[in-house]
Amino acid sequence: MSLEIAVKAAAGAPNVLGDCPFSQRALLTLEEKKIPHKIHLIDISNKPQWFLEVNPEGKVPVIKSDDKWVPDSDVIVGILEEKHPEPPLATPTEFASVGSNIFGTFVSFLKSKDSNDGTEQALVAELSALDEHLKAHGPFVAGEKISAVDLSLAPKLYHLVVALDHFKNWTIPESLTNVHNYIKLLFARDSFEKTKAAKEYVIAGWAPKVNA
């Protein structure tokens, strides 16, 4: 029996995969583990009745596991690891939080209207810390093999690269060579190509937040 997963559809294009990094993280895990699955694309602005019945909070992603719909990408990744241990993707505990502040600092910088408020510096500091970590342990966060922490970071870094380039004309400093290599490695994977939202949907997804 193939597993079912509900993820965000693109804004204005309900039959196209949308721009939710947490949905992509779950899809990446399914792809890396080669787990057969059926995808339900959910139009967030017009959620289908069946979806709200099985998942009253209406959040994505959710997977159907043992006839129950389970939300939250952290929980989903844990369930997939437990039920489909091969190939193992669990990240060693000491590396599990590497890069965990990047997404928050990226969003603050993206929304910032004041170039002197320190949000850019905060993001560069987080990316520099990731660069140092990769220099010591790379090419992935936990060494030679991709693991859950990379699959969580990949969609967030994709949003960072696309949105900051578009809205701020900003790119990751060239001096952070390990981060650049890491991003290239992640974005080149088949699993990533298959599960990423098109750039225009990422941009459309962030536009209301940037212009708020």
Catalytic residues: 20
Gap between the Cα atoms of 43 and 19, Å rounded = 12
CA nearest 48: which of 61, 60, 58?
Answer: 58
Gap between the Cα atoms of 4 and 182, Å rounded = 30
C-alpha angle 157-15-148 in degrees, rounded to nearest 5: 30
Burial class (CB in 10 A: 0-12, 13-18, 19+), 20: buried
CB 156 within 8 A of CB 183: no
Burial class (CB in 10 A: 0-12, 13-18, 19+), 34: exposed
